[in-house]
Amino acid sequence: MNLSRNWRRLLGAALSLGLVFVVGMAMAAEATPEQAAGQRSHVPPMRQRPPGKAAIASANFLATGAGFEVLAKGGNAFDAAVAVAATLSVVEPESSGIGGGFMAVLHRARDNRDVFIDAREVAPAAVDAKDYVGPDGRPNRDHSLNGPLAAGIPGEPAGLVLMAERYGQLPLQESLAPAIRIARDGFHPDPRLREAIAQKRAILQRWPASAAKYLRGGKPPAADALWRDPAQARTLELLGAHGDAGFYQGETARRLVAAVRAAGGNWTLADLAGYRALERTPLQFDYRGYRIITAPPPSSGGVALAEMLNILSGFDLDKLDRAHRVHYIVEAMRRAFRDHNDYLGDPDFVKMPLDMLLSPYYADGLRQGILPDRATPSSMLPVAEASDPGMHTTHFSIIDADGNMASVTSTVNTLLGSSFVAAGTGVLLNNEMDDFALVPNQPNAYGLLGSKANAPAPGKRMLSSMSPSIVIGANRTMVIGSPGGSTIITQVLEGILHFIDGQDASEIVADKRFHHQYLPDVVYVEPGTFDAATSEELTRMGYALKPREPWGFMNVVTWNRLTNTLDAASDPRRPSGLGKVE
């Protein structure tokens, strides 16, 4: 489609008049999400000698070590990803685990195949939105965040099986071996885990199996405590020995369902037996000569990244002073999050105008609504309130010696998920049901609003912000992602911009961050991000700047293909992480 300038102007004007939905729907053809993905990549596929070494960056040194252990046994990046994810499930349960789900972008070097693994949780068949509404019509946050009603059917075990069987080189059992050993022999919980347990102590005490797993005499474990969980080791062993059937059927499934139902949840054996991890086509688009390969729905992350970078491609960010660079980036964030709230959900359940949202012409229209020196109040953009970015969810990045890559973001949702451990399994369940728009127009834990597109339904995946991504340029490649709830998307955006500006992995993970998500209409700012003059200029333009902590745990690996060198870096804000090249 070759739209004339006037037509683009008209589109811009229509946007400011609030007609964007009508125009967008008129432009939307019948493209499926998969067709809408991958349309506009002009960066040639990578053909270069393999790096010969491997790089892994994860949120915990034991998990990074598990990845290298599996590589040394002859595994590839995908076997290492299974080992890292399973080990994080044991040593970093506050962020992710086999009671949760993950999303991953994989790049297989031998055939340049890019694939997205969707191991997102789904709603159980008996889901009932009324369970999440209090008598006053307001959201019942206790039900959506704590205990078994908060938990979706886990996707991580099936995702690990899929990754090992279709992309790995080792039997699943071998890749799970480090996690099983650490669960059985024990490890010393790091300060973040002990803080998470202290924060959730009262909720953990509600369920005996949760208290037994995480508390010692009603208190978080001491720094020198050796933490063992034979039940979790056995659950992982069954998964390794029997694949999907070892978790979704048989002993583990029976224990999970019995524990959930005894505590007021509604899972059935059929919910577990019916769960499938899926392969999807990743979203791909170009920005300044780089190909971005990222998460499609049911994540909003890739769509938002594409929309933001399409808008930003019309500005020469390098030539702008700091305040104006931030201004245009924030305006792009605002517009992408507005659309996130409105349109997105599980692609197997809802039709989304992806061809509109991903179109450069749509971005042109949005760009023309941005004033050069003034913030656009969110109240003047047609539509849709919003909180703590949290330090839950985890991301790790891997490149192996052959050039295979895994970008994996894994989560149980908020800190320690639902705090509910299913007795006899060692499995801590997620509280991902809160990521659905459970009560229309009421914000979730991240302050994100949702529409009908993200309403709960049996078997439906809840919308995510997870944005595992791979960025490929002519000579440089990056594997990136981050935890942080709704800030995942903007942190990854900022990481991509810094990479394209030439920064290395250590600089990218250390950069100070800011975030805007349409509503509330404020720019969240990591202390120290802006100097006084920039803050003053942004305030003059109409921005409300609000300091916020915490940020991070970005884990990045990069590959300079000219010098054939790898680099790995873990966010310096959190000392338990480790990025390593070997």
Backbone angles phi, psi at 291, to 5 degrees: -95, 125
Which residues, listed in sequence order, are joined to residue 108 by a DSSP beta bridge?
Answer: 113
Shortest distance in whole angstroms from residue 445 CB to ligand GLY: 8
Shortest distance in whole angstroms from residue 283 CB to ligand GLY: 16
Other beta carbons within 10 Å of 13: 13
Backbone angles phi, psi at 56, to 5 degrees: -135, 135
- Considering beta carbons, is residue 260 or 466 the nearer one to ligand GLY? 466
Give the span between the Cα atoms of 157 and 160, in whole angstroms.
5
- For 235-363, strand residue ranges (E) read 278-280, 283-287, 290-294
Give the span between the Cα atoms of 132 and 141, in whole angstroms.
7
The Cα angle at residue 118 between residues 112 and 122, in degrees rounded to 5? 170
510, 572 contact by CB (below 8 A): yes
- Considering beta carbons, is residue 341 or 413 the nearer one to ligand GLY? 413
Element (H, E) at 253: helix 250-262
- Considering beta carbons, is residue 346 or 432 the nearer one to ligand GLY? 432
- Considering beta carbons, is residue 413 or 454 the nearer one to ligand GLY? 413
Shortest distance in whole angstroms from residue 432 CB to ligand GLY: 6
- Considering beta carbons, is residue 413 or 451 the nearer one to ligand GLY? 413
- Considering beta carbons, is residue 275 or 543 the nearer one to ligand GLY? 275
Which of 144, 284, 407, 465 binds ligand GLY (CB under 6 A)? It is: 465
Instruction: State the residue for tokens 């994989």.
Output: 106
Give the span between the Cα atoms of 43 and 470, in whole angstroms.
13
490, 513 contact by CB (below 8 A): yes
* Listed ranges 317-325, 458-466, 533-541, 570-578: which one lies at the site for ligand GLY (CB under 6 A): 458-466
* Listed ranges 287-295, 380-388, 459-467, 498-506: which one lies at the site for ligand GLY (CB under 6 A): 459-467
Q: Does 94 bind ligand GLY (CB under 6 A)?
A: no
The size of the interface with ligand GLY (CB under 6 A), counted in residues, is 9
Shortest distance in whole angstroms from residue 308 CB to ligand GLY: 17
For residue 252, indicate whether it is catalytic.
no
Residues 387-446 that bind ligand GLY (CB under 6 A): 393, 411, 413, 432, 435
Shortest distance in whole angstroms from residue 31 CB to ligand GLY: 25
526, 573 contact by CB (below 8 A): no
Backbone angles phi, psi at 169, to 5 degrees: -115, -15
Shortest distance in whole angstroms from residue 572 CB to ligand GLY: 23
- Annotate 333-364 with DSSP letters as a single string: HHHHHHHHHHH---TTT----HHHHT-HHHHH
- Which residue's Cβ has the minimum distance to ligand GLY? 464
Instruction: Give the 3-state secondary structure of residue 92.
Output: coil
Give the span between the Cα atoms of 166 and 164, in whole angstroms.
6
Q: Does 466 bind ligand GLY (CB under 6 A)?
A: yes
- Considering beta carbons, is residue 69 or 571 the nearer one to ligand GLY? 571
Residues 229-268 that bind ligand GLY (CB under 6 A): none
Element (H, E) at 567: strand 565-570
Other beta carbons within 10 Å of 99: 31
Q: Does 469 bind ligand GLY (CB under 6 A)?
A: no
Q: Does 485 bind ligand GLY (CB under 6 A)?
A: yes
Q: Which of 87, 235, 252, 393 is catalytic?
A: 393
Distances (CA, A) of 428 to 23, 416, 581: 46, 8, 32
Q: Which amino acid is at 413?
A: N
Shortest distance in whole angstroms from residue 487 CB to ligand GLY: 10
Judged on CB neighbours under 10 Å (0-12, 13-18, 19+), 541 is middle
Element (H, E) at 546: strand 545-547
Distances (CA, A) of 397 to 275, 344, 480, 482: 26, 26, 6, 10
Instruction: Give the 3-state secondary structure of residue 414.
Output: coil
- Considering beta carbons, is residue 444 or 503 the nearer one to ligand GLY? 444
Shortest distance in whole angstroms from residue 236 CB to ligand GLY: 22
Q: Does 310 bind ligand GLY (CB under 6 A)?
A: no
* Listed ranges 131-139, 266-274, 372-380, 460-468: which one lies at the site for ligand GLY (CB under 6 A): 460-468
Shortest distance in whole angstroms from residue 481 CB to ligand GLY: 11
- Considering beta carbons, is residue 120 or 561 the nearer one to ligand GLY? 120
| Active centre residues (catalytic) | 393
Which residues are near ligand GLY by CB under 6 A? 393, 411, 413, 432, 435, 464-466, 485
